[in-house]
Structure 1
Amino acid sequence: MVKSKTKSNRPRRFPQGDRLSKQPSLAPSPLLESETRSQRPAGQGTRHRTHRRRTQDRRPANNFNQPQKTVFNQDGKLKVIVLGGNEEVGRNMTVLEYENDIIIIDMGLQFPEEDMPGIDYIIPNIEYLKGKVKKIRGVFITHGHYDHIGAIPHLIGQLNNPIIYSSDLTLAMISKRQEDFKSNGDLRLQAVTTNDVIKAGVFTVSFFGVSHNIPTSMGIVVDTPLGKIVHTGDFKLSLESSGDTPSEIDKIAALSGQKVLALLADSTNASQPGHQLSESEIQVNLDEIIRNAKGRLIIGTFASLLSRIQQIVWAAEKLGKKITFDGYSMKTNVEIAQSLGYLKMKKGTLISLKEIDDYPKNKIIIMCTGAQGEGRAVLMRIANQEHRSLKIEPADTVVFSSSVVPGNERSVQRLKDSIYRLGAEVIHYQMVDIHAGGHAKAEDLKFLLKLVQPEYFVPIEGNHSFLRMHAKIAEATGINPLKIFVADNGQVIEFTKKGGRLTSTKVPSDYVFVDGLGVGDVSNIVIRDRQMMAADGMIVVIATIRGKTGQLVQNPDLISRGFIYMKENKELVEATRKKVRSILKDYNPKTSANDAYIKEKIRNEIGKFLFQKTERRPMVLPVIIEV
């Protein structure tokens, strides 16, 4: 077992377990030659010490694409429930349940929308699983982006800390994030490769490599008593190795000869026609921009976009330039990827931020976080002239090497405007191809569907419109429309030996908000209150009355925050006080329920009164003090 905590800051390699057998390749492809496979029972993950596997737990390895010989009861029901990710971009989490066994795929977060003031992020609702924790045989993570791993620190303990299976890079990122939640205890982590097979109750789980914009991304194949469930994770189809891990197309193609009961596939770019850009095209354009830069290059991108970081490192080394990184999460990810061999960098390429003035300006590349316009990220602080050491100069070129996440358009535009005002040149993906998304477009999705030939199809990961577009693509490839299930979050898809159906049953899947240290203690009502205060402010009405008589001791006090400036609105203030006095005539100190009644009356009538006067609806907070 390996603990998630480490004594040093250096990321640790996670044990891979024993290789128990060697299998011949499935197709004449270098991707599959000399593969080794091992099958490990769930429940034997890694903690602080290496755990010796008992002889009786060893099982012969399974060929990835061969039917399982183990015979299970096929009279049960297989449930597929997407708890998050099907009505938004983010908080991805899928549950597979067969009788007394459950596995979970991904456990991510979603960043808040602009109308969610004060919220840090949103995580899946796991109410459905809380009475079933003894059935959970493992959590399988497709890759290391926060929309797939970000909720783990908040949820894994509530699920009795099941083993988390993923690649060594992904586990290192999970472990590093767990260090920010020291009170949560240790995680049980077990590394796998795409050659491994894991036994998890009635499920047999195997993996295939996919291209995404972070190394070691994987799709997952789950053998169930009723057939195979294929989950793509985030993916695009690529055979290149320019910054990305090539997709294991041969493994995916070999699935078509088996009974693939259902394909669950990434829908993020289903509305985008054509094929995804190749990374080799992006590399050419990045090389050109880096070569022609007259001054410093400041490149903003996602902290976890390791494929892009690798491409820029290659270009810098080719052109004799130096790189520095700024932003805690980016520096952390670079350190982890370097230590595990997933980011290659020659000695002398990397310099510290303090050293940039030691070199000619046209030899400096600064890679940083904040390309999405995040308020406190590095690029925004540079643009707002709040960075402790970096100031925009007229000869600088600022490159946005990422697409804009839906919902961030306005903040990104404001960021660009601020940079333009400071005189720098701005280059973004709409001007030149400097970003290839990590998600397959329509033609690639069509190719995958024809390759796998599933009996049922379930589009996942994306807003409802994305899922619908993906469903249309599936129908165009010949899949029976009655066997295409567009499910909302929480909607139960059920399979039996007689077939599958999208049921009307829904399990809880509403937002769980994380606000500072609070998890789930902020409800939609609180969000509405915050929206109201953000839009129209608030006004506090303080009435001091005599407890025996109910008479006002003094004129009601008003406190305005974000509503009006009281010194400039004396007439409105006095009219409001007069209205409060008239309401308090009904106050009866001898009736215990009267306080609540009067407060509600003040809230409603003062709210209506102020709207009539201002056409704004501030939050009204009545306070009654008895003396």
Structure 2
Amino acid sequence: MERPEQVAHAGTAEDSVKIIPLGGLGEVGRNMCVVEYKNDIIVIDVGFGFAEDDMPGIDYTLPNISYLDGKQDRILGIILTHGHMDHVGGLPYLIQRLGNPPIYTANLTRAIAIKRHQEFPHLPELDITLVDPKEHNKITLGQFEIEFFHVNHNIPDDVALIISTPAGRIVHTADFKFDPKPLNEQPADLDFIRSIGDRGVTVLMSDSTNAEKEGKAVSESVIQDNLEVIFKEVTGMLIVGTFSSMINRVQQLVTLSERYGRKVIFDGFSLKSNVEVAKELNQISIKKETQIPISDIDRYPRNKITLIGTGAQGEGRAVLMRIASGEHRYMQLKKGDSVMFSSSVIPGNERTVQRLKDLFYRSGARVYHYGMMDIHASGHAHKEDLRLMHQLIRPKFLMPIHGHYSMMVNQSYIGQEEGIPEENIIIADNGSIVHITPKSWWMDKKMAPSDIVMVDGLGIGDIGSVVLRDRQVLAEDGMFVIVSLIDSKTGKVRGSPDIISRGFVYLKENKELLMQVRKKVRLIIERKSTRPINWVDLKDILRDEIGLFLFQKTERRPMILPVVIEI
């Protein structure tokens, strides 16, 4: 894959440090980045992404790691910044192909990665070394020295990185925000971060997810106050939808439930798994008598129960959708119950979330969501948080990461406002090979492979664009199968062609159309069935001509599957 050569400064490739983002740029999710110097390679995060609307049947998307094929013995370690799936979820699918290198991360992230890995019993155990960002632990991997420091996010144990290289220091912020009153942890140490800038930083790689949002990120303390307002108001059962990895939010809900005398039920596999991990590490404090199994839901008054579940994005078989549609095994929604969406809407999920909210309203429930009041805080820095990070670090070069292209560009504007020359700002893409020296940067014309790798069931990367396009056609206009028998001696059609249709038209109500198709199939075959019959050409002609005929009649384009049998 190639791109127009983009050169900001001259430099020598032999002495440069290379930064190769394999995911997370121009998108939200699928985060993975390679840092390389001569024979030494480190990898930052191995995340997955969620399938988009135009990917029917796809479970997850992964970074393309073809660039690292044949270089496994040079990978000195993987650094995981935090426990969200868009940063660690790709490990079980890719760790063997990466050569099972050692992993370095903080306590909660380690536990989440191991718990996730246990779902894949055929894989070898992960080799994980714990680091403590609050102690500014350092590790040396080849030519790289990595120092860890604490930043706030919406999950504990988020780590940012100072990577000392022959080209100077690279600071990787991870996902972060500045929160003066975070939950269950200390605020980021601004004096320490300022001291990093005092040492001199060549490149700042900074989270861009909320670079288009004004002001500062909302503090978790504000969320706590607003959640308490709702707890005071609700009279029936409280059902809360949130992301399963938002351990801090779960703690807030548990604390308020205990304060107002409510039992807590966790429902949803990923949520229950993460809660158990967090409890083992004392990242969640919950009294033994507070948590009850969902099978005991009818043993307590409805106004004494908080149910925390998954599915706030409207996922079809998740907890919230099963409750809203009346298909939950243990509970039925009743008038007077309340539903709270303590989560944002991921772009692309607006329709499914709206449908879910409407189902709750139709059931007579009262619905609260973050559009009404601050009951969800993003874990990502807003403009003023980013500005502060730039002021503290004062880098020579800025490389926005983690966000859509517009988000990265908006962070570049902040960098320019803080004195970074435009030519010192690196707007890269997935697959860009960025060279860094102490005084210059440039990109290779050739790019690393960066196309999306799709996970479908047990298959990884075996679903290509052709298969996906076929699925899209089937999903939109269905399929139309034509089965025809041809007399081997005469080349004439035997009997009437059979028509099988799925997802196109209801055959019983379109008999006239089917009669016309059968007649046209017969004419095409008898006109084109030369001796000997060229089966490939005949099927192509049937596919094209019947496809055009059906479009003229219906303005739909089903997948045409001709089956021609010689007898």
Band the TM-score falls in, shorter-chain normalisation: over 0.9
SS in 2 for 1:287: helix
CA contact (8 A) 2:77 2:104 kept: yes
Give me the whole-angstrom Cα distance separating, in 2, the residues matched to 1:612 and 1:83: 44
User: 2:200, 2:220 → 1: CA distance?
Assistant: 33
Question: 1:341: how far off?
Answer: 1.1
Mapped to 1, the partners of 2:550 and 2:186 lie a distance apart of 60
Q: Distance in 2 between matches of 1:228 and 1:498?
A: 12
Q: How does 1:433-448 map to 2 (within 5 A)?
A: 433-448=374-389
1:101 is aligned to 2:40: yes
- Secondary structure of 1:417's match? helix
- Please say if 1:288 is aligned against 2:229: yes
- For residues 496-531 of structure 1, give each alpha carbon's deviation from its aligned partner in whole angstroms, at most 9, with x where no partner exists: 355112343311101111111111111112111111
In structure 1, the gaps of 5 or more residues are 1-72
Aligned partners of 2:334, 2:409: CA distance in 1, in Å? 46
User: Is 2:182–2:219's contact at 8 Å kept on the other side of the alignment?
Assistant: no
Does residue 116 (structure 1) correspond to residue 55 (structure 2)? The answer is yes
* Distance change (3 Å), C-alpha of 1:244 and 1:606: farther
Does 2:357 align with 1:432?
Answer: no
State how 1:335-484 maps to structure 2 within 5 Å.
335-484=276-425
The offset of 1:554, in angstroms, is 2.5
Aligned to 2:395, what secondary structure does the other structure show? Answer: coil
* Counterpart in the other structure of 1:488: 429
Task: Find the partner of 1:600 among 506, 530, 540.
Answer: 540
User: Unaligned regions of 5+ residues in structure 2, if any?
Assistant: 1-11
Shift of 1:336: 0.3
In 2, are the aligned partners of 1:222 and 1:230 still within 8 Å (CA)?
yes
Paired residues in the alignment total 553
In the other structure, the counterpart of 1:241 is 182
- Could you tell me how far apart the structure 2 residues matched to 1:546 and 1:246 are? 81
Letter in 1 for 2:104: Y
CA distance in 2, matches of 1:459, 1:488: 10
Query: Which stretch has the larger CA shift, 545-554 or 226-235?
Result: 545-554
* Aligned equivalents of 2:524, 2:123: Cα separation in 1: 51
Compute the displacement of 1:172 (Å): 1.3
CA contact (8 A) 1:74 1:225 kept: no
Tell me if the contact between 1:268 and 1:462 (Cα under 8 Å) persists in the aligned partners. Answer: yes
Q: Give the TM-score normalised by structure 2.
A: 0.95
Percent identical? 49
Aligned partners of 1:74 and 1:497 also within 8 Å: no
Task: Using the TM superposition, give the Cα deviation of residue 246 of structure 1 relative to its aligned residue in structure 2, in angstroms.
Answer: 2.5
Q: Is the 8 A contact 1:80 1:94 kept in 2?
A: yes
Contact between 1:229 and 1:264, CA under 8 Å: does it hold in 2? yes
2:204 is aligned with 1:263: yes
Mapped partners of 1:74, 1:484: distance in 2: 19
1:590 aligned onto 2:532: yes
Q: CA deviation at 1:156?
A: 0.8
The residue type equivalent to 1:325 in the other structure is F
Provide the rounded CA distance (Å) in 2 between the counterparts of 1:577 and 1:307.
63
Name which of 542, 545, 551 aligns with 1:611. 551
Please name the residue that 1:578 is paired with: 519
Paired with 2:185 and 2:478, the residues of 1 have a C-alpha distance of 49
CA drift of 1:75 comes to 5.4
Deviation at 1:548, TM superposition (A): 4.8
- What's the counterpart of residue 192 of structure 1? 131
Question: Equivalent residue of 2:112, what SS?
Answer: helix
The residue type paired with residue 217 of structure 1 is: D
Report the Cα distance in structure 2 between the residues aligned to 1:595 and 1:314, rounded to whole angstroms: 70
State the alpha-carbon separation in 2 of the partners of residues 509 and 245 from structure 1: 37
Tell whether the 8 Å contact from 2:44 to 2:81 is kept in structure 1 after alignment. yes
Q: Which residue of 2 aligns with 1:21?
A: none
Counterpart AA for 1:137:
L
Q: TM-score, normalised to structure 1's length?
A: 0.86
Kept after mapping to 2: 8 A contact 1:262/1:454: yes
- The more displaced of 167-176 and 345-354 is 345-354
Q: Which letter does structure 2 place at the counterpart of 1:182?
A: P
Is the Cα–Cα contact under 8 Å of residues 263 and 457 in structure 1 kept in the other structure? yes
Query: Per-residue displacement from partner, 1:350-382 (whole Å, max 9, x unpaired)?
Result: 122233333332221111111111111100100
Q: Per-residue deviation at 1:589? A: 5.3
Does 2:16 match 1:77? Answer: yes
Between 1 and 2, higher relative CO (CA 8 Å, sep ≥ 6) is seen in 2
Instruction: Measure the CA separation in 2 of the matches of 1:623 and 1:222.
Output: 61
Equivalent pair of 1:372/1:404 in contact (CA under 8 Å): yes
Deviates more, 1:374-383 or 1:348-357: 348-357
Say whether residues 1:152 and 2:78 are aligned partners. Answer: no
Q: Is the 8 A contact 2:297 2:330 kept in 1?
A: no
What does the per-residue CA deviation read over 1:518-571, in whole Å, with 9 as the maximum and x for residues that have no partner? 111111121111111111111011122234543322222111000011111111
Give, in whole Å, the separation in 2 of the partners of 1:328 and 1:589: 62
Name the counterpart of 1:24: none
Alignment partner, residue 315 of structure 1: 256
Equivalent residues in 2 for 1:300-311, closer than 5 Å: 300-311=241-252
Distance in 2 between residues matched to 1:548 and 1:108, nearest whole Å: 60
The offset of 1:292, in angstroms, is: 2.2
The one-character-per-residue Cα deviations of 1:428-478 (angstroms, maximum 9, x if unpaired) are 011111111110101110110111001100111111111111111111111
Following TM superposition, by how much is the alpha carbon of 1:296 offset from its aligned partner in structure 2, in angstroms?
Answer: 1.0
1:50 aligns with: none
| AA partner of residue 95 (structure 2) | I
**What is the 5 A alignment of 1:9-158?**
76-158=15-97
- In 2, Cα distance between the equivalents of 1:469 and 1:258? 27
User: Secondary structure of the equivalent of 1:177?
Assistant: helix
- Residue 364 of structure 1 aligns with an amino acid whose one-letter code is I
- Check the 8 A contact 2:216/2:383 in 1, yes or no: yes
- 1:517 paired with 2:452, answer no
Q: Structure 1 stretch 92-101 or stretch 499-508: which is displaced more?
A: 499-508
How far, CA to CA, are the matches of 1:364 and 1:182 in structure 2? Answer: 36
**d(CA) in 2 for partners of 1:243, 1:99:** 41
Contact residue 214 and residue 244 of structure 1 kept, 8 A = no
- The residue type equivalent to 1:205 in the other structure is I
Structure 2 Cα separation of the partners of residues 602 and 461 of structure 1: 48
Residues 52-89 of structure 1: CA deviation (Å, up to 9, x unaligned): xxxxxxxxxxxxxxxxxxxxx99522111111111211
What secondary structure is seen at the aligned counterpart in 1 of 2:179? Answer: coil
1:523–1:74 Cα change, 3 Å: closer
Secondary structure of residue in 1 paired with 2:494: coil
Amino acid of the structure 2 residue aligned with 1:275: K
SS in 1 for 2:149: strand
